[in-house]
Amino acid sequence: MKILIVGGNGTIGSKVSSHFSKKHEVIVAGRNSGDVIVDMADSASVKALFEKVGPVDAVVCTAGEAKWADFDSMTEDDFYIGIKSKLMGQVNLVQIGKDHMNPGGSFTLSTGILADHPVLMTTSAAMVNGGIHSFVKAVCLELKNNIRINVVSSGLVEDAIEHYGAYFPGHNPIPMTKVVNGFVKSVEGAGTGKIIRMYDNC
């Protein structure tokens, strides 16, 4: 398969990219590094990405940002960071990418545990994660040519404990191999419209 991985040089993306590289042709896209540069929050940049890369069998997104801050301090613009990047960035990949996807191909998006189990300072991140879950459940009904779409929702991953561990008291970090398996299940499995939750039922 020819697999485009947006955010493929990040904490999760680098593990996902190196796994898929063993069996598939992987193209890494990122904002500042990768085989192709893209800002998924900008639809013109996403169009240019697909024109450059050509038809693909799978698009995996392990990118997307949202502002973390106390609700009292969040401005309207702060909320738009997550809406433009993590939410609309991933919607852009699907809406533009579907016309560059080979029949039977798949999209795999990324959210996280905050959609179901938010922690402090995550009103924006939790909100966009929930929005993506609903988007996936709805858009799977309309994708043509047997194109599938799923989303991997992971808990705090082991490789990010140093940076984010303090925000997740009592959470069990998720081994990187488990997270990678969520993406494998989506790309190489047959399911569609699934929220692949990679965390304990806490």
Ligand X SMILES: NC(=O)c1ccc[n+]([C@@H]2O[C@H](COP(=O)([O-])OP(=O)(O)OC[C@H]3O[C@@H](n4cnc5c(N)ncnc54)[C@H](OP(=O)(O)O)[C@@H]3O)[C@@H](O)[C@H]2O)c1
Give the integer Cα–Cα distance in Å for 54 and 69. Answer: 39
Angle at 13 between CA 7 and CA 19, to 5 degrees: 135
Q: How far is the CB of 35 from ligand X (least distance, A)?
A: 12
As beta bridge partners, residue 58 has 3, 106
94-95-100-101 Cα dihedral, nearest 10 degrees: 40
Does residue 186 touch ligand X according to CB under 6 A?
A: no
For 9, 31, 66, 129, 166, the CA distances from 41, given in Å and listed in that order, are 17, 10, 12, 15, 28
Is residue 9 close enough to count as binding ligand X by CB under 6 A? yes
Separation between Cα atoms, residue 126 and residue 192, nearest integer Å: 22
CB-nearest residue to ligand X: 10
Residue 85 lies near ligand X (rule: CB under 6 A)? yes
Count other C-beta atoms under 10 Å from residue 54's C-beta: 10
Q: Footprint of ligand X on residues 20-49 (CB under 6 A)?
A: 30-33, 38-41
Question: Of 8 and 142, which has the nearer Cβ to ligand X?
Answer: 8
For position 13 contacting ligand X by CB under 6 A, the verdict is yes
Position among 86, 133, 148, 171 found at the interface with ligand X (CB under 6 A): 86
Binding residue for ligand X, selected from 82, 89, 105, 182, defined by CB under 6 A = 89
Residue 82 interacts with ligand X (CB under 6 A)?
no
Choosing from 112, 124, 135, 192, the residue that interacts with ligand X (CB under 6 A) is: 112
Beta bridge partners of 30: 37
Q: Is 131 in the site for ligand X (CB under 6 A)?
A: no
Residue type at 164 in one-letter notation: Y
Please report how close the Cβ of residue 104 comes to ligand X at its closest, in angstroms: 25
Which residues in this chain contact ligand X in the complex, by CB under 6 A? 6-7, 9-13, 30-33, 38-41, 62-65, 85-86, 89, 110, 112, 154, 156-157, 160, 164
